[in-house]
Amino acid sequence: MAIAAETTAKTDAPPRKASREARRVQLIEATIEVLASKGYSRMTLTDVAKLAGLSHGLVNFHFETKEKLLAETLRYLSDEYRENWMAALESAGQGPAERLHAILASDFNAAICTPARLAAWCSFWGEAQSRPMYQETCGAKDLDYDAHLVALCTEICAEGGYSCDPVRAARVLRLCTEGGWLDLMTMVTPYSMAEAQATVMAAAAAFFPRHFSERGLIAVA
């Protein structure tokens, strides 16, 4: 009987763990929605619990404080963002222009470029009190992203004989993608996600006209 009981306990363990992780993600997703509607400072654990349809005590059980919940939400968004552009690079062709196109287009993947996620990112960017947390959570990942952009721009310059500064080109492209996100979030009559991506590609075309147009990648013979 003891063996049977032990076997049952081991069989039951994975569902319990999965349920706990599912609740955690549910609360983080609710936090993203509350950040979008109320902002960083006005968000409360009660708001999150209510939107998630869970008890306030369950929020405390998983995250203990608002600060810890926000930190986990930022980490969740940061990991999601990195996984998105890394997956785009892995599925792209081997050429530097193909890879640069993939990493730029990945910012407008509908899975991560949603109104709620854009607003949540803006909440973290805009609040002075969140900046140390942002730097701790996202600083190294941002540097890695920038390094990939610079490396790809450097390769394209060498391949195409372009005379632009690849570091500056990479910076402009990053600013264009971030600016596109801000426009999609803050403009009274925002343009479409497709237009935001076309704007970024137009910036790439300004530096690398034989490889890009505003429609995206140009097939180079």
Q: Residue 29: what pLDDT? A: 95
Q: How confident is the model at residue 220 (pLDDT cuts 50, 70, 90)?
A: low
Average pLDDT score over residue span 63-85? 94
Q: Is the pLDDT of residue 15 over 80?
A: no
In the CATH scheme, what is the code of domain 2-217?
A: 1.10.357.10
Q: How confident is the model at residue 6 (pLDDT cuts 50, 70, 90)?
A: very low
Q: Cβ neighbours of residue 32 under 8 Å, at least 6 residues apart? A: 73, 77, 116, 117, 120
Q: Residue 18: what pLDDT? A: 47
Q: How confident is the model at residue 16 (pLDDT cuts 50, 70, 90)?
A: very low
Q: How many other β-carbons are positioned within 10 Å of the β-carbon of residue 8?
A: 10
Give me the chain's average pLDDT, please. Answer: 88
| Percent of the chain clearing pLDDT 90 (strictly above) | 67
Q: Is the pLDDT of residue 62 over 80?
A: yes
Range list of H helices, 39-165: 45-52, 56-63, 66-91, 96-105, 115-126, 131-160
Q: Could you report the per-residue pLDDT of 78-125, keeping only the tens digit for each?
A: 999 999 999 999 999 889 999 999 999 999 999 999 999 999 999 888
Give pTM, 2 decimals.
0.85
Q: Residue 167: what pLDDT? A: 98
Q: Residue 20: what pLDDT? A: 79
Domain boundaries, the chain: 2-217
Distance CA(94)–CA(152), nearest Å, equals 11
